């Protein structure tokens, strides 16, 4: 504690002591302010206090009027107050149409929030959150509940992408270039670029380009993909502080900027590091081209950390922290890492074919309410539910009180 601070504290203590003394002196006299009696609403009942008062003994303490039980509803006017937020989340567009230098039939714009998620009583959300569906460039180990939905297409990335757009209504396709992992197939950057070109041909929605996680390899792959997809505004997922340690972050950022691609800035549940990474990116990438991934943990395996970091990030952004005023993405497919999503747990918990997608849905829903703008998802039922929920949360005024008024005695 600094000297000055200490003196302030001491002064505060003295002052408080003094006030305490005054308080004691004034004890017994309570002044009632702002008390309005609506006599028409009161029914006077005989009260034990009444005789005392009638005898004309002036009470030392000015007592509140005797409690009288109301016989009609006492109105308590209320208008929810709308808070003003000095900050706004930046808007970011994924994909670009022909006129914009790309070849997409549809683009999506996310972000722009001016109040916490779905506080419709304050402000209508600027853009609805969107769903990106995951596809892979090779056969991967998938939970049974998902596998049965993608088995027919999982040897053909483009066909897989087309299916999730046509059948599942994916707003965005997230292509994971897992085969580029040096520890898996170590596929070359140019092979990855070829895959992306095929997917760009097959679908007309925006793409997310998912790397393998190896900083140097991802840098090479992103460089090549950014070049072949010039102008398409594909999201490079993801750029990390590890890339900085590996000495490739600046190059990746420059490449992204050169070819007009937005980047996904990934950090592990740490807002200071998220800000640090963003600052590094600002050196090369336009600030409007940065999306954040603050880490998504599964329901049961740390979802509360993700929930809270998203609430904190969004509130900080709205309160004016410019380095956090970016839309956010959540890899909700991570829900399937929870054993409760994929394991057989015994007869009372089955069927896991429902439990699994519900697990993914609840993970996503919880983060939807914390302000996430883009979701990476995998199971068709979870995707369908989330699309419906986003639609529901964007509107207000659909509640039908008469429908639930007598739920108490409903036979269900």
Partner 1 sequence: MTEREIKKSVRTLSPIDAYMLLPRTNCKKCGEPNCMAFAAKLVNREVLVDACSPLLEKEYEDKYNKLKELLAPPIKEVTIGTGENAVKIGGKLVMYRHEFTYHNPVALAFDVTDEMPSRSKFEGEEALLDRIKKIEGFSYEYIGRNLKLDMIAIRSTSNDPTTFKSAVGTVVEATQMPLILCSLDPNVMEAGLVAASGRRPLIYAATKDNWKEMADLALMYDCPLAVFAPNDIVFLRSLARTLIEYGVKDLVLDPGTFSDDGLSDTVNNFTIIRRSACREGDALFGFPLIGTPITSWLNGEESKNILAWKETIAAATLISRYADVLIMHSLYGWSQLPTAILKFNIYTDPRKPVSVDPGLYSFGKPDDMSPLMLTTNYALTYFTVESDLKKFGGNYYLIVADTEGISVESAVAGRYLTAEKIAEAVKNSGIAEKIKHKHLIVPGMAARLSGETEDELKSAGLSGWHVMVGPRDSSGIAKFLEEKWPPKEEE
Footprint of partner 1 on 125-164 (CB under 8 A)? none
Single residue of 6, 7, 11, 16 touching partner 1 by CB under 8 A = 16
Least Cβ distance, residue 242 to partner 1 (angstroms): 6
Taking CA atoms, 371 is separated from 98, 112, 116, 128, 227, in Å, by 31, 11, 7, 11, 32
For residue 103, the minimal CB distance to partner 1 (Å) is: 30
Write down the least CB distance from residue 178 to partner 1, Å.
10
Distance CA 412, CA 403 (A): 14
Please report whether residue 69 would count as binding partner 1 according to CB under 8 A: yes
Write the CA distances from 344 to 102, 177, 333, 357, 405, integer angstroms.
46, 30, 19, 14, 40
Tokens standing for 394? 């964007």
Q: How far is the CB of 345 from partner 1 (least distance, A)?
A: 8
- Rule CB under 8 A: is residue 237 a binding residue for partner 1? no
Footprint of partner 1 on 307-336 (CB under 8 A): 307-308, 311-312, 315, 334
Token pair recorded at residue 228 = 């072949």
Which is nearer to partner 1, 149 or 314 (by Cβ)?
A: 314
Q: How far apart, in whole angstroms, are the C-alpha atoms of residue 402 and residue 409?
A: 14
Q: Contact between 60 and partner 1 (CB under 8 A)?
A: no
Residue from 119, 227, 287, 321 binding partner 1 (CB under 8 A):
119
Strands 108-111 and 91-94, by their bridges, are antiparallel
By CB under 8 A, tell whether 63 contacts partner 1: no
Residues 18-57 as x/- pattern, contact with partner 1 by CB under 8 A: --x------x------x-----------------------
- The token pair at 87 is 């900050």
- Total residues in contact with partner 1, by rule CB under 8 A: 95
404 binds partner 1 (CB under 8 A): yes
Task: Judge residue 153's burial from the number of C-beta atoms within 10 Å of its C-beta, 0-12 exposed, 13-18 middle, 19 or more buried.
Answer: middle
Shortest CB 262 distance to partner 1, Å: 20
Instruction: Answer yes or no whether residue 393 interacts with partner 1 by CB under 8 A.
Output: yes
Instruction: Provide the token pair at 19.
Output: 């006030």
Positive/negative CA dihedral, 233, 380, 266, 222: negative
Q: Of 147-155, 166-174, 283-291, 365-373, which segment contacts partner 1 by CB under 8 A? A: 365-373
């Amino acid at each position: 504690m600094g000297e000055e601070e200490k003196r302030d504290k001491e002064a505060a203590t003295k002052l408080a002591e003094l006030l305490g003394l005054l308080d004691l002196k004034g004890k017994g006299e309570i002044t009632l302010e702002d008390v309005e009696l609506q006599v028409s609403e009161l029914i006077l009942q005989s009260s034990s206090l009444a005789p005392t008062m009638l005898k004309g003994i002036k009470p030392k303490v000015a007592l509140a009027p005797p409690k009288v039980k109301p016989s009609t509803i006492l109105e308590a006017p209320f208008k929810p107050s709308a808070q003003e937020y000095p900050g706004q989340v930046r808007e970011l567009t994924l994909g670009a149409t022909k006129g914009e230098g790309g070849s997409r039939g549809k683009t999506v714009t996310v972000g722009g929030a001016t109040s916490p998620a779905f506080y419709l009583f304050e402000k209508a959300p600027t853009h609805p959150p969107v769903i990106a569906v995951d596809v892979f460039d090779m056969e991967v180990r998938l939970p049974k509940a998902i596998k049965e939905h993608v088995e027919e297409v999982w040897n053909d990335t483009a066909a897989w992408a087309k299916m999730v757009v046509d059948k599942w209504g994916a707003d965005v396709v997230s292509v994971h270039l897992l085969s580029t992992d040096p520890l898996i197939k170590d596929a070359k950057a140019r092979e990855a670029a070829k895959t992306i070109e095929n997917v760009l041909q097959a679908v007309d929605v925006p793409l997310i380009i998912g790397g393998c996680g190896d900083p140097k390899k991802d840098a090479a792959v992103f460089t090549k993909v950014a070049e072949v997809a010039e102008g398409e505004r594909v999201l490079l997922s993801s750029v990390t502080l590890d890339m900085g340690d590996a000495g490739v972050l600046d190059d990746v950022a420059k490449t992204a900027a050169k070819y007009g691609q937005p980047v996904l800035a990934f950090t592990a549940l740490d807002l200071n590091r998220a800000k640090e990474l963003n600052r590094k990116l600002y050196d090369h990438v336009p600030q409007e081209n940065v999306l954040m991934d603050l880490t998504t943990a599964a329901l049961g395996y740390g979802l509360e950390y993700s929930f809270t970091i998203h609430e904190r990030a969004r509130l900080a952004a709205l309160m004016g922290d410019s380095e956090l005023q970016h839309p956010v993405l959540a890899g909700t497919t991570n829900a399937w890492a929870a054993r409760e999503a994929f394991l057989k747990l015994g007869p009372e918990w089955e069927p896991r074919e429902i439990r699994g997608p519900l697990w993914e849905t609840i993970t996503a829903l919880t983060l939807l309410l914390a302000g996430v703008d883009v979701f990476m998802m995998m199971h068709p039922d979870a995707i369908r539910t989330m699309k419906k929920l986003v639609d529901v949360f964007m509107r207000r005024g659909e509640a039908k009180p008469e429908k639930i008024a007598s739920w108490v005695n409903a036979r269900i």
